[in-house]
Structure 1
């Protein structure tokens, strides 16, 4: 294994090891964001919720960009298993954040939207790195930092077009 590949693999493993998505996602999913309940209890809950959302977004953005810049796919069995578990966590975050975004009257929609799109983008990047053929064909991204919200919107649009395609 080349030194460059070793460093890249190590940086991704370290990035995911340091990523507190699992802890933050459990807080995000279990958080009761009913605005009336929050207003009756303590206004600090809203700030705490926003902090959770911002932290998740920042961590996912960092990990997304790390994955996109990685030149190699994920091929080790233990890493594959770990990242498939991460995808399950991301799926849960995606479903909860989508549900919360669709609630009428939620003043926290923008925060839920950031979490939703960041989750979609990170899930897409992980899935691409789990596909060795995709990585061989496309390699790593070498441009400027990607806007993960726009990237996620593109992923969702492509998925919708594929779903609605007539064969």
Structure 2
């Protein structure tokens, strides 16, 4: 889990130009009974994971109202690809819920180890950019209570250039 001292608090002008560039939106919300399903995609599985995380934050508030004022890094491990996605989103939810209410506008996965040596877990390291959630500045969306495994699907077909994830979040 992340420690609050891991946050880098610096004025927006201290972030590099590259850190402030946002990728295009590649996600949508699909109706699901009593919950919401996130469908995210990208030019790689890494991008699909990043987009899924941003989509989760986008359900909690209007993401265009979020500025990049702080950053933190997270690291997660998983026993398989599905578990890795679950742990990644769960840690992002923790960053919002238990840390300093950091709502992230941009996620950059810096390490994506899905082919570890035998006996080791898969892992992700990710840099998260955003700011503290503040009522009045950030419209309150829907609270995300938990990530679920229900109907979780990962499409990883490099030969077809098809990288998608489907995740149901408990709201």
Query: TM-score w.r.t. structure 2 length?
Result: 0.24
Larger radius of gyration: 1
Q: Which has the higher strand share?
A: 2
Q: Which has the higher helix share?
A: 1
